[in-house]
Amino acid sequence: MRLALFNKGRLGLVDGDDLIDVTDQVAGADTAGPAGALQRCIEAASDGATVPFELDGRTRIPLADAALDAPLPRPGKIIGAPVNYSDHKAEMEYTTSVADLGVFLKANSSVIGPGEDILLPYSDKRTDQEGELGVVIGRITTHVSADDALDHVFGYTCVLDITVRSGEDRSTRKSFDTFTPIGPWIVTADEIPDPDTLDLRCDVGGTTRQRTNTADLIFGVRELIAYTSSVMTLHPGDVIATGTPAGVGPLAHGDRVVLDIEKVGRLEVGVDGSRATPYEQRPGRRDR
């Protein structure tokens, strides 16, 4: 199944070129609040029961006519994997990888959905795209083994881990509002038996910058879930951005960023630099 949020919070099942509104088939989904109806759906399925959607006779909305929102507008946690592809490690001249660095957190207020704009904060500091496979956790997960890790996945989505190249901690550089585009939907895990086999491509301004297969991840999806769950309990709806391959680069005002992941989907967002300000004008004293 591909599940999306659309038209300001409705829950839709993608069927071909249509969306079928299933909001009223998940208890509480119509009043799910800022976490959204799909979060409610993931929680409802967290005991292992699949939600049996009734599709016959339902209104179909052409996808082309629907305004898709981020499938999870405010995830409980967004976890990132630093330096999880060897070719990205090489391009950044890093000497350490995810195996040394562990994971980091991004603010959940940084999420935007398809068609929205990444806002560039600084006029004179690079803000880069990082195209990544996103894993959506489906069950409470703590100290899970790599062998059992995929049983804890609800599904997969596309994630852009937008990043300022400056000196601050990762959690700052990656947490600006709009810095985590997610979508266009979540594909349930049953459609992707092995997430470590997916082609990934990220284009910026019509040029392909990143092209990889998730087989090249240093910590594969199973290993990354196992490691992360040894640090922190994962909850239904938490999102893990699995890391980016080589080809990160600066975004410019007016760019379109397109992330395409095999069997998952195609996420497209814009870039708006019209409110960017000089880095030196950021708040805070720097004389001590």
Site residues, Mn ion (CB under 5 A): 130, 161, 244
**Shortest distance, CB of residue 130 to Mn ion, whole angstroms?**
4
12: β partners: 4, 21
Residue 214: closest CA among 73, 78, 81, 75: 81
Q: Which is nearer to Mn ion, 69 or 130 (CB)?
A: 130
- CA-to-CA distance for 14 and 29, rounded, in angstroms? 17
**Shortest distance, CB of residue 248 to Mn ion, whole angstroms?**
8
Q: Which is nearer to Mn ion, 117 or 130 (CB)?
A: 130
Neighbours of 208 (CB within 10 A): 12
User: Which DSSP state fits 215?
Assistant: G
Q: Which is nearer to Mn ion, 6 or 104 (CB)?
A: 104
Q: Which is nearer to Mn ion, 21 or 87 (CB)?
A: 87
CA separation (Å) from 73 to 47, 77, 156, 220, 273? Answer: 23, 11, 15, 26, 23
- CA-to-CA distance for 75 and 94, rounded, in angstroms? 29
**Shortest distance, CB of residue 161 to Mn ion, whole angstroms?**
3
Neighbours of 228 (CB within 10 A): 24
Q: Which is nearer to Mn ion, 88 or 235 (CB)?
A: 88
Q: Which is nearer to Mn ion, 43 or 130 (CB)?
A: 130
- CA-to-CA distance for 38 and 43, rounded, in angstroms? 9
**Shortest distance, CB of residue 177 to Mn ion, whole angstroms?**
17
- Sort strands 239-241 and 131-137 into parallel, antiparallel or unpaired: antiparallel
**Shortest distance, CB of residue 79 to Mn ion, whole angstroms?**
11
Q: Which single residue brings its beta carbon nearest to Mn ion?
A: 161
- CA-to-CA distance for 91 and 248, rounded, in angstroms? 9
3: β partners: 13, 186
Within 8 A by CB and 6+ apart from 145, the residues are 226
8 Å CB contact between 213 and 55: no
Q: Which is nearer to Mn ion, 63 or 135 (CB)?
A: 135
